Structure 1
């Protein structure tokens, strides 16, 4: 049923829970895994880390690679066919484009379970991918935070 599963990660517990679900599905379906983390190196990225913009972008790319490597290691340990990549740009559009590029059958993403005003103010990468992507998305909700 699934040949290629995309696992977006941001290193959070929610993403780790979703990765575990995706790895179980990949094992059952003998699917290839693609793990991706998006380093949002846009104009606001320099606000997240101290120093000049180039240093901030390098740090973001390095952190993204660490997140990808952690999930790739878990997939390798499970004996799965896995590829890891760091993407750059707005996470919402980069994940949708990458899913199309690799011809993913499924995207498995985590969510923080936020709702109400907090979700509207913060936005949601998962929500955007569900609404605007062409690939089915399994949302693994690992808990609910209050709004």
Structure 2
């Protein structure tokens, strides 16, 4: 039983790793599908062709067309808002990257400008304390 559980855990881990690698592909596919769906839903000819295939009365078609127009307008507004948000996020990320690069350049420049370790100064002749100096001067 323990061996079976371990094998199952390993299989699950492998599946998770495989799924992680596919996330970017899935995102690209989702984006493509969303773009295609948006195109279809906002394409008047496509919608008209679909409705005509349904054999509806002209009154029903008129009502459906009116509703679809309203939904298309809303869809376009949301779509444009989403595009703007994506662009804003991209700009923010670009700014953060630029800020990070700038900070790294500043750090590098500060490292270059740091003074070398101070060299030990040569020993200087020490003068006697002031009391002894005055006595020496009096003796001279």
TM tier relative to shorter chain: under 0.3
* Larger proportion of helix: 2
RCO greater where, 1 or 2, for CA within 8 Å and sep 6 or more? 1
User: Structure 1-normalised TM-score?
Assistant: 0.24
User: Structure 2-normalised TM-score?
Assistant: 0.25
* Larger proportion of strand: 1
Quick check: which has more Rg, 1 or 2? Answer: 2
